[in-house]
A and B are shown apart, each in its own frame.
Chain A
Amino acid sequence: MAYHAQNNHNQGNSVLLKSTAAFLPSLVLCAGMVTSAIAQSSSLSLMQGAFSEAQAVRGQELYFDNCLQCHGETMSGVDQAPPLAGPQFAANWRGESLSALVDRMTTMPPDKPGQLNREAYVDLLTYILWFNELPLGTSDLTTDREVLSAMPFETPGF
């Protein structure tokens, strides 16, 4: 299938995770791509579009329901809760891996931590990334811990 020839290895990875039995032939075709996807994960940058709009929209819904009350509509933080966007947040987290960010998110909210599944936390993360001015890509950000550990958080501009 022609799309496997594309350069976005992350797409190949997520296609594999979501593929059904009907795509079994492409499973075999994809196996090699998956290996190289993980091997090349260190070259994947947030600046190149590491998550999809659909994923960020899912994250937005989750944010409204679970996070907005404390972190605010503009992620500037309210009272007890720190900002999730802007230079202060960037200064705190620049260079830390996305995996570390997700780990911190699973401790939230402080009064009922870890209530969402991992996919939901990653979806939430992409909404936060979008809010931090990071560009949209064509496919979802993976939940794979190894891949996320090799992706540092960064924001555009200074």
Chain B
Amino acid sequence: MNLTSISMKRLAITMTLTGLLSQTGFAQSDITDAQSNGEWTTYGANLASHRYSPLDQINAENFKDLEIAWRLNTDLLGPRPDALFGMTPLYVNGTLYATVGMRRTVVAMDPATGELLWMHREDEGERGAAGARQGAGRGLSWWKSEDGTEERLYYVTPGYRMIALDPKTGERVASFGEDGAIDLKENFDQDLDPLDNGIGLNATPLVVGDVIVVGAAHRPTTDVRSRWTAKGYVRGFDIRTGERLWIFHTIPLRGEYGYDTWNGKAEENGNAGVWAQMSADPDLGLVYLPVEMAAADYNGYNRPGDGLFGESLVAVDVKTGERKWHYQFIHHGLWDWDLPCAPILFDMVKDGKTIKALAQPSKQAFLYVLDRETGEPIWPIEERAVGQSEAPYEETSPTQPFPTWPLPFDRQGVSRDDLNDLTPALRAEAEQVVERFNMGPIFTPPAIGRDGGPFATLMLPNAVGGANWPGGSFDPVTNRLYIHSHTQLMELVNTPEDMVPFNRGPDGEPQDAARPAGLGRPGGLGARRPSTFLQGSIPLIKPPYDRITAYDMNTGDMLWQKTHGTTEDRIRNNPALAGVENLDRLGSYGRIFIGTLTTASLVIAGEGAVHTNENGETVALLRAYDKDTGEDIEGRIEMPARQTGSPMTFMHNGKQYIVVAVTHGGANVGAELVAYTLP
């Protein structure tokens, strides 16, 4: 064991916590100076994406005393409110920086009062409105030169341009690109109409030394018509000048590694972008790219083969973009299980050796743990046989990778054992409903749509997870990983029996009368779909519906798993559950995307859905958990709306704050940034 880089104090703490010397996987000290100073200088708190702060002013004893310091309603800070508001701000140099509103306006704020100090607004006109990702996005990035003389903020706009700003004034830095902006639709190794609405990005660009790395997002490709989309290549730019340093072709060009996995169809397929946040190891000089699927989401007719590097994690050299290794987690994907979030980088000790590792959370609820130098799995990942599509045109992959360890953090596959059994009547109703659907284990492909056949295949995890873009958080002192996930039934729609090419040509013109499978026929609505909710509002599957899982990454053991959300009114108050006990905390059901924040002693996350409290107010709780045991920390902190952006924390003028984005939704959007502090 190499003790030189670890302080004895940290070792002592770790030994006390874990108890066994032989099992001590001490964490390499990758807490940055910024984190130690109580700053939050990058989306994931550090380049390892830990979402961790060593601050402890807010702790288990006083969490219950938290009160709102200020609230900023962002609805008017753009042309329309942003109903998604999935942003995490930055705190650096005593200032809070955020992106807000549909136009992704950048604001600087006084962290103690929320007062706006400056605002930077890019009016991109038609091009901005045509972007594939509108809204505030995930946030922005910060850079400081090595000699400390220059600082900048960076973000990618809805119109897919990258802007460099002076953090003091919000003015563009003229020496970057053209007058402070680079057009990301140029220099992209493909021809893109400047007004093309197929591409955009809401993730923050990744600053690694003097390189800034940018991915791409696309319009969703639910139907096969959308095959001819742009390709989501990844690029690295010089952070001072904006000159393109490298490009990585996530769909390889002829002659490049992986091209042959497309069976000659690489040119006519698109997407495979990195819309997720990325991580980097500056010591190794590597950037880790979580790649999404190629188009289309549920149909691989146009892309026979494994299709590298779709649904793969790729490690590239930060200076050259050269691929060092890759690992594909899903071959020929049919479930929209893009890699959605940054891998968490950490060090561990296994068989007496220190390994630089990473853990990649996924929508499908697997946590893939690899050596981040070589891409080799830490624990075996097995290729196992999976269900095959009946459609003659779909070349399903015969196998998919299954990590043998750690265990998945959420439910996979659907069977009768998953049916709601809160009452015998509900169970009976559930049994009737599933008769009209197909069910199966994970990686069951879409069923064929036939008259009298199943309406769809019930699927877990959902196409939106499991886990999703928030990813997880990590405690580097104890090597613990925390991940929120939700359990939401998905109807995987049927695929047509006879595949008429649902294609548009490269010029966008439909080549035939394209119709999606499974729903109405032209001229008719078709039969009403059976609902996957019992008695109007109770999920077909049994709870819990969302959870936070803690892993010990020294061993891969699952330490604890807690149901997270308070039961929503529409489930709680359904007459079919009258008299049933223990209904208070079944978890939040639905599309919720929750990021956790880890501090010195707490795991903190807000609820993704609201409920009515004793006073008749609509609230969502900001919850805190004991890091070791998962027990609820005492305190009932009510937020005015549900969490939509992942929380962060910082120390400002001797006070610790927690800031989180919440959104009311419905007709009055109410996208707010809320700050909590002790009295």
Chain A interfacial positions (CB closer than 8 Å to B): 53, 56-57, 60-61, 64, 68-70, 72-74, 76-83, 86-88, 90-93, 96, 100-101, 104, 107, 110-113, 130-131, 133, 155-158
Contact A78 B336 (CB under 8 A): yes
Contact A92 B666 (CB under 8 A): yes
Expressed in whole angstroms, the Cα–Cα distance for A100 and B223 within the complex equals 29
Enumerate chain A residues within 8 angstroms of B83, measured Cβ to Cβ: 82
Quote the shortest CB–CB distance from B7 to chain A (angstroms). 43
Secondary structure of the B contact surface, majority rule: loop
Quote the shortest CB–CB distance from B589 to chain A (angstroms). 8
Quote the shortest CB–CB distance from B457 to chain A (angstroms). 12
Contact B591 A77 (CB under 8 A): yes
Expressed in whole angstroms, the Cα–Cα distance for A157 and B573 within the complex equals 12
Residue in B129, B222, B515, B575 whose CB lies within 8 Å of A78: B222
Known interface pairs A82-B83, A91-B568; A112-B197 also in contact (CB < 8 Å): yes
Contact B130 A87 (CB under 8 A): no
Contact B456 A74 (CB under 8 A): yes
Chain B 206-236, CB within 8 Å of chain A: the 1/0 string? 0000000000000111110010000000000
List 30 A–B pairs whose Cβ atoms lie within 8 Å, in order of A's numbering.
Answer: A57-B520, A60-B519, A64-B516, A68-B222, A69-B220, A69-B221, A70-B222, A73-B222, A73-B493, A73-B518, A74-B456, A76-B490, A78-B463, A80-B220, A86-B531, A88-B589, A93-B666, A101-B667, A111-B134, A112-B129, A112-B197, A130-B525, A131-B529, A155-B536, A157-B535, A157-B537, A158-B535, A158-B537, A158-B570, A158-B573
Contact B591 A82 (CB under 8 A): yes
Chain B 232-262, CB within 8 Å of chain A: the 1/0 string? 0000000000000000000000000000000
Known interface pairs A92-B665, A104-B667, A158-B536; A60-B520 also in contact (CB < 8 Å): yes
B177 interface residue per 8 A CB criterion: no
Q: Which residue of A lies closest to B131 (CB)?
A: A111
Enumerate chain B residues within 8 angstroms of A91, measured Cβ to Cβ: 568-570
B297 interface residue per 8 A CB criterion: yes
Contact B591 A87 (CB under 8 A): no
Known interface pairs A74-B529, A158-B574; A107-B665 also in contact (CB < 8 Å): no
Expressed in whole angstroms, the Cα–Cα distance for A96 and B668 within the complex equals 10
Enumerate chain A residues within 8 angstroms of B576, measured Cβ to Cβ: 158
Query: How many B residues are at the interface, by size bracket?
Result: 35 or more
Enumerate chain B residues within 8 angstroms of A68, measured Cβ to Cβ: 222-223, 516
Chain B interfacial positions (CB closer than 8 Å to A): 80, 83-84, 102, 129-135, 197, 219-223, 226, 297, 336, 456, 463-464, 490-491, 493, 515-516, 518-520, 522-525, 528-529, 531, 533, 535-537, 568-570, 573-576, 589-591, 665-667
Enumerate chain A residues within 8 angstroms of B490, measured Cβ to Cβ: 76
Expressed in whole angstroms, the Cα–Cα distance for A111 and B221 within the complex equals 15
Expressed in whole angstroms, the Cα–Cα distance for A111 and B197 within the complex equals 7
Q: Which residue of B lies closest to A101 (CB)?
A: B667
Expressed in whole angstroms, the Cα–Cα distance for A124 and B490 within the complex equals 23
Enumerate chain A residues within 8 angstroms of B336, measured Cβ to Cβ: 78-79
Q: Which residue of A lies closest to B468 (CB)?
A: A79
Q: Which residue of A lies closest to B529 (CB)?
A: A74
Enumerate chain B residues within 8 angstroms of A77, measured Cβ to Cβ: 464, 591
Residue in A56, A112, A158 whose CB lies within 8 Å of B575: A158
Expressed in whole angstroms, the Cα–Cα distance for A53 and B221 within the complex equals 28
Residue in A56, A86, A101, A130 whose CB lies within 8 Å of B533: A86
Q: Name the residue in B226, B520, B523 with the highest tally of chain A Cβ atoms < 10 Å from its Cβ.
A: B520
Expressed in whole angstroms, the Cα–Cα distance for A99 and B515 within the complex equals 30
Expressed in whole angstroms, the Cα–Cα distance for A101 and B591 within the complex equals 20
Residue in B129, B223, B522, B591 whose CB lies within 8 Å of A113: B129
Enumerate chain B residues within 8 angstroms of A90, measured Cβ to Cβ: 537, 570
Contact A107 B80 (CB under 8 A): yes
Enumerate chain B residues within 8 angstroms of A156, measured Cβ to Cβ: 536
Quote the shortest CB–CB distance from A109 to chain B (angstroms). 8
Contact A60 B525 (CB under 8 A): yes
Expressed in whole angstroms, the Cα–Cα distance for A86 and B220 within the complex equals 21
Known interface pairs A92-B666, A100-B667; A57-B575 also in contact (CB < 8 Å): no
Contact A111 B665 (CB under 8 A): no
Enumerate chain A residues within 8 angstroms of B569, measured Cβ to Cβ: 91
Expressed in whole angstroms, the Cα–Cα distance for A73 and B517 within the complex equals 9
Besides A110-B102, A158-B570, A158-B573, 12 more A-B contacts (Cβ < 8 Å) are A60-B525, A74-B456, A78-B220, A78-B336, A79-B464, A82-B83, A87-B533, A87-B537, A87-B590, A90-B537, A111-B131, A157-B535
Q: Which residue of A lies closest to B524 (CB)?
A: A57
Expressed in whole angstroms, the Cα–Cα distance for A33 and B41 within the complex equals 66
Contact A93 B667 (CB under 8 A): yes
Contact A56 B536 (CB under 8 A): no
Residue in B134, B493, B515, B522 whose CB lies within 8 Å of A74: B493
Quote the shortest CB–CB distance from B638 to chain A (angstroms). 18
Contact B464 A56 (CB under 8 A): no
Quote the shortest CB–CB distance from A16 to chain B (angstroms). 27
Expressed in whole angstroms, the Cα–Cα distance for A56 and B519 within the complex equals 13
Expressed in whole angstroms, the Cα–Cα distance for A11 and B623 within the complex equals 52
Enumerate chain A residues within 8 angstroms of B219, measured Cβ to Cβ: 69-70, 111
Q: Name the residue in B84, B491, B590 with the highest tally of chain A Cβ atoms < 10 Å from its Cβ.
A: B590
Q: Which residue of B lies closest to A132 (CB)?
A: B531
Expressed in whole angstroms, the Cα–Cα distance for A60 and B515 within the complex equals 11
Q: Which residue of A lies closest to B574 (CB)?
A: A158
Known interface pairs A64-B515, A87-B533; A80-B84 also in contact (CB < 8 Å): yes
Contact B220 A133 (CB under 8 A): no
Contact B525 A53 (CB under 8 A): yes
Contact B570 A56 (CB under 8 A): no
Quote the shortest CB–CB distance from A111 to chain B (angstroms). 4
Contact B536 A69 (CB under 8 A): no
Enumerate chain B residues within 8 angstroms of A112, measured Cβ to Cβ: 129-130, 197
Contact B220 A79 (CB under 8 A): yes
Expressed in whole angstroms, the Cα–Cα distance for A68 and B575 within the complex equals 34
Q: Which residue of A lies closest to B516 (CB)?
A: A73
Expressed in whole angstroms, the Cα–Cα distance for A80 and B22 within the complex equals 46
Quote the shortest CB–CB distance from A155 to chain B (angstroms). 8
Enumerate chain B residues within 8 angstroms of A111, measured Cβ to Cβ: 129-132, 134, 197, 219
Expressed in whole angstroms, the Cα–Cα distance for A131 and B84 within the complex equals 23
Enumerate chain B residues within 8 angstroms of A104, measured Cβ to Cβ: 667
Quote the shortest CB–CB distance from A52 to chain B (angstroms). 11
Q: Name the residue in A53, A91, A96, A107 with the highest tally of chain B Cβ atoms < 10 Å from its Cβ.
A: A91
Contact A133 B528 (CB under 8 A): yes
Enumerate chain B residues within 8 angstroms of A60, measured Cβ to Cβ: 519-520, 525
Contact B533 A96 (CB under 8 A): no
Q: Name the residue in B219, B297, B456, B522 with the highest tally of chain A Cβ atoms < 10 Å from its Cβ.
A: B219
Q: Which residue of A lies closest to B200 (CB)?
A: A111
Enumerate chain A residues within 8 angstroms of B134, measured Cβ to Cβ: 110-111
Enumerate chain B residues within 8 angstroms of A110, measured Cβ to Cβ: 102, 129, 134-135
Quote the shortest CB–CB distance from B511 to chain A (angstroms). 16
Contact A57 B463 (CB under 8 A): no
Known interface pairs A92-B666, A133-B531; A69-B591 also in contact (CB < 8 Å): no
Quote the shortest CB–CB distance from B447 to chain A (angstroms). 13
Q: Name the residue in B223, B569, B573 with the highest tally of chain A Cβ atoms < 10 Å from its Cβ.
A: B223
Q: Which residue of B lies closest to A157 (CB)?
A: B536
Quote the shortest CB–CB distance from B479 to chain A (angstroms). 32
Contact B222 A57 (CB under 8 A): no
Known interface pairs A78-B220, A111-B130; A96-B537 also in contact (CB < 8 Å): no
Enumerate chain B residues within 8 angstroms of A76, measured Cβ to Cβ: 490-491
